[in-house]
A and B are shown apart, each in its own frame.
Chain A
């Protein structure tokens, strides 16, 4: 199975400042069709997860443009350009390239300093 490793585990951020979360995969996530199926999810306290980004860098409808995704191969990053209070929660990456075993990263907790 592909192992997804996120860092850091915890990320204290000052309001208005940027934040960056790393996600590394144990194998390349480039699919044979040329696409890279790496997604990012946000889980606010007490809520279900919500997808923010799919295929590395495509923002879902309604996701603020302060969220951006980048990366390639085995290294990926989620960036929040200016953290707001509503961004507190746990962020997960997920690979959908290597079926049948789809895998999530362990999560990164974003909190306000």
Chain B
């Protein structure tokens, strides 16, 4: 069955960096766009970034552009989110999700990122 497992969430100080990983199984990873979506405490869902099945195209929300970098390794069935210059407003649960036919059909369980001094 399809599985998406995020890791890498942590407590980090403002200005710090973090790298999230998402390991997937149960489908042909290289056939699918992948994305990161976040949810701040008590708030709704926000697109962060997505990446095409072979590494392009790539999209970033304006709120993270220039600070976050998405990448993928099709040989390792993994997608990553490098987060630099973290701010308090980046505090959220970060979900890895599979894009299929202009929708999200599978979500991971999420990993918690807390930015606080």
A interface residues with partner B (beta carbon < 8 Å): 31, 35, 37, 39, 41, 48-51, 54-55, 60, 90, 92, 94, 96-97, 99-107
Contacts and interface: CB of A to CB of B under 8 A. Distances in A.
A55 to B, nearest CB: 7
Q: Which of A48, A90, A104 has the most CB of B within 10 A?
A: A48
A54 B108 contact: no
Contacts of B101: 37, 54-55, 96
A89 to B, nearest CB: 13
Given A50-B107, A94-B104, A100 B46 contact: no
B28 interface: no
Given A48-B108, A100-B59, A37 B45 contact: no
B103 A94 contact: yes
Interface string B90-117: 0000010000011111011110000000
Interface string B33-76: 00000000000111100100000010101000000000000000
Contacts of B57: 100
B56 to A, nearest CB: 12
Interface residues of B, number: 18
Contacts of A60: 105
A106 B39 CA distance: 11
B102 A97 contact: yes
Given A35-B102, A48-B109, A55-B101, 8 more contacts: A39-B104, A48-B107, A54-B103, A55-B103, A99-B102, A100-B57, A102-B50, A106-B44
Contact of B44 (A37, A39, A102, A107): A107
A104 B107 contact: no
Given A101-B47, A104-B44, A104-B47, A49 B105 contact: no
